A and B are shown apart, each in its own frame.
Chain A
Amino acid sequence: MESQRAASPLDPENPLLSRVDAVLNWARAYSFWPMFFGLSCCFIEEITAWTPRYDISRFGAEVLRGSPRQSDLLIISGTVFKKIAQVVLRLYEQMTEPKWVISMGSCSNCGGMYDCYSVVQGVDQFLPVDLYIPGCPPRPEAVLQALVLLQKKVRSERSTRKVFHLSGGSQGTQAPIRVDGVSKSRDPRGPGYYGTPPRGTAVTPPWFRESRAEVMWTPPPRRFELSEADLSLAQVLQVRFGDAVRREEETSDMPSFQVAGDRVKEVLRFLKTEASPRFKGLTDLTAVDESTRQTRQNYPDYTLVYHLLAFEPPTRLRLKVPLHGLDPVTPSITDIWPSADWYERECFDMFGIRFDGHPRLWRLLMPHDWEGHPLRKSYPDRGTALPPYTLESARKYQPLDAAKFMEGRVGEKEFLLNVGPHHTSTHGLIRFILALKGEKITALDTDIGYHHRAAEKIGERQSWYQYIPYTDRIDYLTGVANNLSYLQAVETLADIKVPDRAQFIRVMLTEFFRLSNHLVWFGTHPQDVGAMTPTFYTFVDREKIMDIIEFITGGRLHPSWFRLGGVAMDLPEGWKPLVDDFVKVFPQRLKEYEALVTKNPIFEARNRGIGCLSLEEALDWGVTGPNLRACGLEWDLRKKFPYSGYEAFDFDIPTAATGDSYGRYLVRVEEMRQSLRIIEQAANRMPPGRYVTDDYRYAIPVKNDTLKDIESLIHHFINVSRGPKIPRGEAYAATEHARGEQGFYVVSDGGIMAYRLRNRSPGFANVQALPLMAVGHLLADLIAIIGSIDYVMPDIDR
């Protein structure tokens, strides 16, 4: 009673109104209607607050609403992208009165670690905010605390006057919108430093003036030895194309060829259809802006890079095409690989390279009305270097109209529907534009880029170590598994050896995250087709995994725990019983989940024969991971290109023959069992020894060593501050990620940061193939199909 009085002070003018205030506010504070709205990683932690361990219903706010019309609480959970900001504002304006806003996480509060061109530096620049939750991401408990604080705020409002249209009174969010330079400063150092680079010129791209990297020495990069087959292929290419194809002498990861721009299509077609082995897969297509190389004269203006993959035997190949001029033109290869469609659009969007013969060379990631090409070296690397995003910007820039996407593809009887960017079933910020005849989908287009966090541009201004936390956030459901993909690439380039113990620790944690990802998927996919229950079960086990992860690494979603040459620290005392407990309990739990779902007639009816993809199409479109295995191909990088010691483990590759949503379901469920097998083996056979390499040129030295010898101390100092220099060269490395092939292509110009950092993401290719699976089905089937593909937005948009 005492606290109640304190929370709602008496209306000085009217004691009667203050009594009504107390009742009204009490009712409001304990029955929030939060909108089902999430932007990125934070939403995972937000939604975890709804699951059994945290149980937000204790606070009377558990009923998530799918539409803004029914919601009065907006939790901005995650990064506010410029492409989504106008949508956020519209949702806010469509909510009921009165309404409250919680800004969750550093990104939403101020842009956080994403000071880049595509992110709004704080949602309060165009929306009023009641409460800020700090953290990256904040834990579920923080959401609960924010809710309690908001309840307190609501109980101190004077709502009665507003409700009865009397003068004065207050309710809902009253905070003003912040204006850059007036009521806030986007500069992390505070106001008054404009004009000076935030961290000094030595770490400011693109020139890195006076960087000490120039005087640092490193051994040469790793040298890749070509096999007999590689040499004979080089021979064949030489005979067939003469001077147009030139083998690069020194590579670190795979055979690489320079191809003349006018012959590239011929060469690619030859490699796909005639060469031995046949390179059936286009793994990746990207470009490098070579304009700020240290030895400029040795490079063209741009280099176009194709990564090809042969399945039988597993072989990789790189083609590089030099391009000249500011806006070069090159032939499109969409008629050879349909999957090149999005890759070429991305290159056009990011570099301004034009592809002759591309059916629809539009922007892909950036908004349609964006100016400039962000991955060019001339483009500003920081968001704070661009004008602030304001309320006016949010009103002015609008997503492209659906009719524009469907131009020439729809008849009179069809109508257009947007599913997303804000939709409870799209699993993130993605927009599907559908042409419907009745309930049947006759055409589908996908608009991505709503979650584009400039991960590749940021890689050019963060040291090799500083970039590790960014990789965690590329696929926010698989944490350290992303670290592994990135580090594989850098370790390949610099030839860093990783000790056995570190390999095993990496494998164990990576598999834990695969399991954790599949548990989230197991909760959400059945939910998409109508089963509420599994989420509440699987998140219980996911929390157990999170406990283990937290015990070992100290983090939950984004531990950023792997380092060059090993991991951040040794396994803590007492890790084994925790893992053993989990391994013992989980099989039984999985059996229970399966009993709920696998033979469920509704689940089967919704998934069998839905969203079929043939193996040929899957290969052509670059589909990887469980989605590819569900088409019948036993393809798993852990077996085909073993890395991180996976060859030491005994596990099977589950496949399905049907290629439909149900097949994808079965493959993932079986993958959970296999992951568990690997975890068990890793835990039981954990080798003794170092957890990080003793090659201290690149690794962060063990703290104890730094106290004993000066060499280690110096390396420690250099590697945690300036960061190591990585020798000039390039490397592509990929891992079998929870969703498929996640690869990193790192290009070093001998600096303490990557010259170009490219992320080949599985989701990008998997989702591009969506129209093949969905067109011809009913609208409701689309939801089942996207649930079965299991994508996550930052992995697609990066």
Chain B
Amino acid sequence: MHPVTSAMLSPWMPGLFSFALFVALVLAALAVVLFLTSWLGDKKTDPEKARPYECGVIPTGWARFRYPVPFYLVAVFFLIFDVEAAFIFSWAVAMEDLSWRGWLQISFFIIVLLLSLFYIWKKGGLDWSPSVPPRPLTRKTRS
């Protein structure tokens, strides 16, 4: 591994005019697309069309309510560990320069991460399936 020098990076030459032009073009393109999609074509706005689709019947209840989403938790955990992976990568790139001291620090970091992973695991944060198992196989039938 070599230390990074400024010659290895692309030059940064700020140009206000080209930047402004770029922004203007993007805005114009967006405006054209938005205008065309809203103006072109046949529109029909009756209550049936505006109604949410739920397999062809009228839905029951209101969609804005607190809804338990195990997927959300899993996604958040993934995001956290993903960001932490970025730290580890950057350490790995500069491993030789950072010497044993760096190794000790990153090891500490990884151990903390692992502990937290086990903690989440133990708390059931990674269990997507329902916490209660499905109906047992032999159930007393009604009599």
> A residues engaging B (CB < 8 A)?
67-69, 87-88, 90-91, 93-94, 97-98, 162-165, 171-172, 335, 338, 398-399, 401-403, 413, 415-423, 431, 437-440, 612, 614, 616-617, 620, 659, 772, 775-778
Contact = CB atoms under 8 A, between A and B. Distances in A.
Interface stretch (B6-14, B64-72, B94-102, B108-116): B64-72
B42 A97 contact: yes
18 contacts: A90-B48, A90-B51, A90-B57, A91-B56, A93-B49, A94-B48, A97-B43, A98-B42, A402-B60, A413-B68, A415-B61, A416-B60, A421-B57, A423-B55, A776-B130, A776-B134, A776-B135, A778-B130
Interface in B69-119: 69-70
A422 B132 CA distance: 31
Contact of A93 (B39, B48, B58, B69): B48
Nearest to A88: B56
Which 5 A-B pairs have CB atoms at the shortest separation, nearest pair first? Answer: A776-B134, A87-B56, A438-B68, A97-B42, A422-B56
A96 to B, nearest CB: 9
A616 B138 CA distance: 8
B16 to A, nearest CB: 40
Given A163-B40, A171-B42, A422 B55 contact: yes
Nearest to A95: B49
Contact of A776 (B41, B44, B68, B132): B132
B69 A438 contact: yes
B70 A439 contact: yes
A94 B143 CA distance: 47
B142 to A, nearest CB: 6
A68 B51 CA distance: 12
Contacts of A778: 129-130
Contacts of A431: 55, 57
Given A98-B42, A402-B59, A620-B141, 6 more contacts: A94-B49, A97-B42, A163-B40, A418-B55, A776-B132, A778-B130
A413 B137 CA distance: 27
Contacts of A772: 135
B138 A614 contact: yes
Contacts of B129: 778
B48 A163 contact: no
A616 B43 contact: no
A415 B48 contact: no
A777 B55 contact: no
B137 A612 contact: yes
A403 B57 CA distance: 12
Interface string B1-21: 000000000000000000000
Contacts of B143: 335
Contact of A437 (B43, B48, B57, B68): B68
Contacts of B139: 614, 617
A401 B58 CA distance: 7
B56 A776 contact: no
A659 B136 CA distance: 12
A351 B76 CA distance: 57
A438 B70 CA distance: 8
B58 A398 contact: yes
B125 to A, nearest CB: 14
A614 B143 CA distance: 16
A775 B143 CA distance: 20
Contact of B54 (A398, A417, A437): A417
Nearest to A69: B53
Contacts of B67: 415, 438
A162 B56 contact: no
A602 to B, nearest CB: 15
Contacts of B59: 402, 418
Given A93-B48, A614-B139, A401 B60 contact: yes
A592 to B, nearest CB: 33
Contacts of A162: 41-42
A97 B42 CA distance: 6
